[in-house]
Amino acid sequence: ETGVTQTPRHLVMGMTNKKSLKCEQHLGHNAMYWYKQSAKKPLELMFVYNFKEQTENNSVPSRFSPECPNSSHLFLHLHTLQPEDSALYLCASSQAIAGGPYEQYFGPGTRLTVT
C-alpha cells in the first residue's frame, strides 16, 4: 500500500448526479496530481496543484472541478458527467515542483462508471 489513498475505490453515478473523489497523501509532499486512465487511451494528466495552487489544467471540461484545501488533500468534484467520462481516476503526489522534477507516487485509483 502506498502513502497515497483514494476514496471511494469504486463509484457508479448517473449523468445528473454530483459526487466527489477524494485523495489524501501521507508523504509530506506539496504537489498533487489528478490523472485519467480510459480504456483505450494512455494515462493523461488532468490537473496539477503545487502548494495548494493550481498550476496545470490540461483542457479539462468544467464538469470536473478540482479542489486542494491543503497540501495533503485533493478533491475532484464531478457533476453532469457523460458516459465517456467512465475511467480510472488516479491521484499522485510529489515533492514541491520548484527545484524538481521529483518522482510521483500514485494512489490506487477510483474506478468511475457513469450510467
Partner 1 sequence: KQEVTQIPAALSVPEGENLVLNCSFTDSAIYNLQWFRQDPGKGLTSLLLIQSSQREQTSGRLNASLDKSSGRSTLYIAASQPGDSATYLCAVRPAIKAAGNKLTFGGGTRVLVKP
Sites of contact with partner 1 (CB under 8 A):
2, 4, 6, 31, 41-45, 48, 50, 55-56, 88, 90, 94, 97, 100-109, 111
Report, in Å, the least distance between residue 48 CB and partner 1: 6
- Closer Cβ to partner 1, 33 or 64, answer by number: 33
- Closer Cβ to partner 1, 13 or 97, answer by number: 97
- Closer Cβ to partner 1, 24 or 79, answer by number: 24
CB 68 within 8 A of CB 55: no
Report, in Å, the least distance between residue 10 CB and partner 1: 9
| Residue whose grid cell is 468534484 | 77
Q: Which of helix, strand or coil describes residue 109?
A: coil
Q: How far apart are CA 91 and CA 106, in angstroms?
A: 6
CA 38, chain centre distance (Å): 13
Radius of gyration for the alpha carbons in the chain, expressed in angstroms and rounded: 13
CA 20, chain centre distance (Å): 10
Q: How far apart are CA 73 and CA 56, in angstroms?
A: 17
Report, in Å, the least distance between residue 62 CB and partner 1: 21
- Closer Cβ to partner 1, 56 or 79, answer by number: 56
Report, in Å, the least distance between residue 101 CB and partner 1: 4
